[in-house]
Structure formats: structure tokens, C-alpha cells
Chain A
Amino acid sequence: MTRYLLRRLFLMAFVFLALSLLAFSLSYLFPGDIVQNLSGLRQIDDSQRQQLISYYQLDHNILQQYLAFLTRIAHGDWGQSFASQQPLLQEIQLLLPATLELASYALLLSFVIGIPLGIVAAFKPDSFVGKSISAIAMVGYSLPIFWWGLLLIMFFSLALGLLPSAGRIGVLYEIPHSSGFMLYDILLADIDYRSEALYNALQHLLLPTIVLATFPTTVMISFVRDAMLNVWEQNYIKTARAKGLNRGQVLYRHGLRNALLPVIRQIGLQFSTLITLAMLTEVIFSWPGIGRWLIDSIYQRNYPAIQAGLLVISTMVITINMLTEILHAFFNPLARRG
């Protein structure tokens, strides 16, 4: 296990090296002035320019510039946003929790719904229930989520007026910012309208979570279904049945573990899709997260912001991927071999 971990971490170091090289090269590849792209400052006079050139070591060779870039990233100096002229790292720290909150609830929802439905669909593949689950999964899988999101807004927000269509919480509620995770902040906050705020935040959360969870849920259903059908054909299931265990015991002791192991790995693979979909969802629901911010930055040609967004999102995806791999190896003895 230790050797496996070391090997994984070694691989991860290379991935991050490649990622930092890419992010570094972006400042040079983006159109415009390098000093502007690096600093994020719009107006630069001559004396300031000289100062920045020596700060970014632009008068030295490319290797030193890269090393200086790495040092700056490590020290938290990520430059400024063209649009707001605010430090980027600070902006990201404000926005990232909103995206993480939305994505994690969606992922959680996709497990809670997807895994049981997948198992049911695997047990009754020919029945009406099994077939309708597969059909729903297929429809959900092919649903374009911007359309699906708009549809839900039109129905629940505009026609029925039940749920809000945009934002994280109503403007009436003032929640002090501590962690950036809305529900957690509300629970921590020392306010007398806590339950109302919580209810309001949950209402705001409901539609985006459903929209974002649609795709991963359907993937989860079909994945669990296929994995379960496959496992149920294996000889060790027959052995377990022949031992005299009943269906529930066989499912619990041998079926679930073997069928759900590949699912752990699936989380890592689905995560990058989830983040991409989160960007769309955030745009539709005006969710103040990093995805919407990144899309805005792309529209505004806000190069420093694009670079920073790339770094953060890629790092997140790679880390989650690696964590799920390690988790998978931890639970699956076969993956640890060799």
C-alpha cells in the first residue's frame, strides 16, 4: 500500500508540473502585453513597468521567469483581475465554496438516488420497474441541461412561483461570511432569523442541485446497473448462493462491495464533467460560483482570471481524481496488487 501511494504521488507531481507549465505559458500565449497579463493592471506607467519587469524577472531567461512564477503562486500572489482590479486569489476564495457546495450536494444526490435505483434496475431487468428506470436514465442522460434548467425555472419559478430562480439566498437575509458554504454559514451565524434563512437557502439550492445532479445520477444508475448485472453473473455469487445464504445476504456481503468498487473510481472520472456542468448551471441560475465567474472572464478577455481559474479547477479535478483512485485501492485488494 505504501509503495502504491508513493507511486501515485510521484505521478501526481508530474501532472502538476505539466499543469504549472501550461498555466505559465498562457501569459505569453494570450494576446496583449505580457506585463499586463501577468499583473492584471490596466494602466501601467513607465516607472511602474520597469519595477514590474524586474519583479516578474522578465529581463532574465525563461527558466528563471518560470521559477519566479512558481514562487508567486506559492506565496499567493496570483495577480489582479482585469475586470474588478481585485487580487485574484481573494476573489477565488470567495467564489469557490459556492461551486463546491453546489457540486457536492449534486454528487451526494446522485449517489443517494442513483445507487439504489441502479440496484433495483439490475434485479428486475425485464420488469416494468427495471425498464422504466433504464428509460428514465437514458432520457436524463441525453437531456441538455441548459434546456432542462430553463424548463424547471419556467415551471417552478415562473408558472407556479414556488421556488426562486436565481441566486444563493434572498436579498432580505444578511449572512455573515465565514466559510463561504451557505448552509454551514447560516448554522454558524449568530442571527435570530436562522431557520427562515435556512429554509430560503434550501429553496434556492433545490433547483440548481436537481439540474446539476441529473447527469451524474443517470450515469450512476446505468453504471451501477451494469456493474451489478455483471457481478451477479460471477461464480463467487453462485458459490455464495450454494452456501445457503439468501438473496439479501449475498447482495450485502458479496454483491454490493464488488459492484460498488468501480463506482468509487467513477466519482473521480465524473468530477470534471460535473464541474463543466456546474459552470452551465451557475450561468442559468445566476449562482455566484467560480464557473460563472470563469465564463464571464472568458467573455471579458480577462486573461489573468482565466489563468487562475484554470489552475484552481484543474488542481481540484486532479486532486479529486487521485483521492478517489487511492480510496479505490484502499477498498479493493485487487488494485493494490503489483
Chain B
Amino acid sequence: MLLLDIKNLTIELETADGLVRAVDRVSLSLREGETRGLVGESGSGKSLIAKAIVGVLNRRWLVTADRFHWLGKDLLRLTPEQRRQVIGRDIAMIYQEPSRSLDPTAVIGDQLEEAIPDHLLTGPWWRRNALRRKKAIGLLHKVGVRDHQRVLQSYPYQLSEGICQKVMIAMAIAKNPKLLIADEPTTALESTTQAQLFRLLASFNQLKGMSILLISHELESVARYTQKLSVLYCGQLVEAGETSQVLQTPLHPYTDALIKSVPEFQPDLAPKTPLYALPGSIPTLQHVPIGCRLGPRCPNARKECVKTPALERQQSHYFSCHFPLTTKGS
């Protein structure tokens, strides 16, 4: 069943020099129980898309889409209050900097308990508080925090980033969401904790059938823990499909460059050879090229690339390029 179905999502920012289009006609869909990775460099609009889904973007941002469906309901047509109810019930999100996503002046216990919705507590109202506390402790155990007593009584600044992120995940899964959006959940963490967290997310997906949208710029970890993959460049969707397929036979030059820049994907790379990288750097949002935004940096660019390529499809593999790579390495 299709949970999330977004077609041609455009996110624009009103600035003094006119509208800046930060996300340009991105389509994204997610089935129940699916894990999808969303990769791209910083500034490619990954977090914007996530925030647009949850509806926590500033008023300055303009969000439009041909279709923005959650379980068949168009989110953009709901009133803010209805939308908050739908999202509050079904979607949870965890952020990049966990310690800044927790209220610095409230103890963890209070923050975790308020994330537990009333309808999940079965019992008379006078036992609500005790049940809530019990459930909070259970949630902490689920995310691998053992000394719950100390953590519940702590303020965020007294805990490490890793524990804070685990608390964030505990808050996110408190309402048994259908979709968990993880926006670069591991950037502030050590590598051992990173692996733990990814395993944790994977286990929720496998045990509870929770869909996960994993946003990251680390291709290796995304490749390991997701089934589907969407690649963004500069606010445009360049390629999407089964993770393994996208990684084995990338059709877009950008995806190809991205894969080649990761040494882990090239076991037979000779020592001390320079890694492959596209010339130039990502343009600023005020000065994006017309047409395909990769144009000036693309090794295969031709005259036609000044027109934005449409999203094309080969079985379950989508790409938007006029001149897709047909054989690997070309």
C-alpha cells in the first residue's frame, strides 16, 4: 500500500531577488514497510523535503505539489489543524542535532512522556501517570538505554549526543508511527553509536513494519540499510530506484560520480590513486543553471541539457537525464 505519494514537489523561498527554487519538481513515493534512502550533498534540499512532509517549514517557504498524498489524503488541502492531527498520529521525525532538538529546560522524562499519545494508554485515568512513566521506561529500554532512572531525570545537556538521539528515537516511536523520517540522524555521533542507531532503525522496520525515510549524505550507510534510494542534486531528483540496482548500474552521471567518490564501493582501486570527482562545485541557489542543474559540471553534457529532462523510467528505475549511462563506467 502506498503511504506517501508525492509528485512534482516544489519548494521555493521568497527573497529580495525573487523566488529561489530550492527543491525543483521532486517526486517521491514510499510503500508500507519500505525503507528509502534520500541522498545528496548538503544544500540539495533533502532536509527541506523532510520538513515539508512533516509541515514544520517556516512561513517564508512556499510549498507546492501536483500531488502530496498521505494514505490517499492530500496534505496540502487539509487545514493546518487537520494536517497536524494526521501527521501527529502517523509520522515521526528525528533530526540532525539531537541535543538541540530537546527542550533544554525540561527533564527527559517529561519530554518523553508527552510524546506518548493518550489512546495508547489502556487504563483508568487515575492510573494514567503511572502507565505513562512505565511506557516511557519501556521505550527507553527498546532503544537500548539501560539506566532509565538516570536518563529520565536528566536535562539534555547532561547526556551525550548518542543518548539524546536514542531519546529522540524513543519519542518518535512512542506513537507507533507508520513512517519515521530520520534526517541525518548520525552526523553528530561517533561511528560505533552510528552503527548501533542504524541497526536500531533497521530492527524497527523489520519487526514492526515501520517505513523509514533515511536522509543522509553518507552513501555507504544508506546503501547498507535501505531498499530504495533517491538521489538529489541541487534540488532536482536525478535518480531513484532499488538501492542495489541504482548502485550497480547508475544511469545518471551524478549518481555515477557519487558512487565512484566512495572508496568502499571500489575494492580494486589501487593505492594512492585520486578519487573520481566532478569538476567544479555545487552552485548557490541564487545562481542555478537552467535546465538540468548538473549541466556545467556534467562530463556528458550537450546542447539539449539546457532543457530540464523529464523523469524517465526503466522498470522500477527512474532517472532524469537526456543521455543516461547505458553500460557501467562509460
Q: Which residues of B contact A249 (CB under 8 A)?
A: 114
* B interface residues, how many (CB within 8 angstroms): 32
Point out the residue from A233, A238, A332, A333 that lies within 8 Å of B101, measured CB to CB.
Answer: A238
Q: Does A337 contact B (CB under 8 A)?
A: yes
Chain B nearest CB: distance from A1 CB in Å? 13
Q: Check if B157 sits within 8 Å of A333, measured CB to CB.
A: yes
| Inter-chain contact B157/A241, CB cutoff 8 Å | no
Candidates B85, B106, B157; contact of A244 at CB < 8 Å: B85
Residues of A within 8 A of B101 (CB): 235-236, 238-239
Whether A240 contacts B95 by the Cβ 8 Å rule is no
Within 8 Å CB of A258, what residues of B? 103-105
**Quick check: is A253 within 8 A (CB to CB) of the other chain?**
yes
CB neighbours (8 Å) of A246 from chain B are: 81, 84
Per-residue CB proximity of B91-122 to A under 8 Å, as 1/0? 11101010011111110001000110100000
Question: Interface 1/0s, chain B 45-71, versus A by CB < 8 A?
Answer: 000000100111010000000000000
Assess A240 versus B84: contact at CB under 8 Å? Given A235-B97, A333-B155, A334-B157: no
Beta-carbon nearest neighbor of A254 in chain B: B103
Q: Is the CB of B171 closer than 8 A to any CB of chain A?
A: yes
Q: Which of A235, A333, A337 contacts B95 (CB 8 A)?
A: A235
List A residues 225-261 near B (Cβ within 8 Å).
233-236, 238-246, 249, 253-254, 257-258, 261
Alpha-carbon distance between A254 and B102 when the two chains are bound, in angstroms: 10
0 or 1 for each of A122-166: is its CB under 8 Å from B? (1 = yes): 000000000000000000000000000000000000000000000
Q: In the complex, what residues of B have CB within 8 A of residue A244's CB?
A: 84-85, 87-89, 117, 175
- CA–CA, A277 to B313, complex, Å? 74
Shortest A154–chain B CB gap in Å is 45
Contacts known (A244-B117, A246-B84); A236 close to B103, Cβ less than 8 A:
yes
B228-252 CB contacts (< 8 Å) to partner A: none
Q: Is B168 an interface residue (CB 8 A)?
A: yes
Residue in A234, A239, A241 whose beta carbon sits within 8 Å of that of B168 in the complex: A239
Contact A242 B105 (CB under 8 A): no
Contact B175 A238 (CB under 8 A): no
**How far is A258 from B88 in the complex, measured between Cα atoms in Å?**
23
**Chain A residues positioned under 8 Å from B171 (CB to CB):** 239, 243
Determine the distance from Cα of A249 to Cα of B110 in the docked complex, in whole angstroms. 13
Q: Is the CB of B115 within 8 A of A234?
A: no
Contact of A242 among B93, B100, B110 (CB under 8 A): B93
Q: How far is the CA of A255 from the CA of B271 in the complex (A)?
A: 54
A243 & B88 in contact (Cβ 8 Å cutoff): yes
CB contact under 8 A between A235 and B100, given known A244-B175, A332-B105: yes
Cα separation A249 to B106 with both chains bound (whole Å):
14
The residue of chain B having its C-beta at the shortest distance from the C-beta of A253 within the complex is B114
**Can you list 16 residue pairs at the A/B interface with Cβ under 8 Å?**
A236-B101, A236-B103, A238-B101, A239-B101, A240-B103, A241-B84, A242-B54, A242-B91, A243-B175, A244-B85, A244-B175, A254-B106, A261-B105, A331-B105, A332-B105, A333-B104
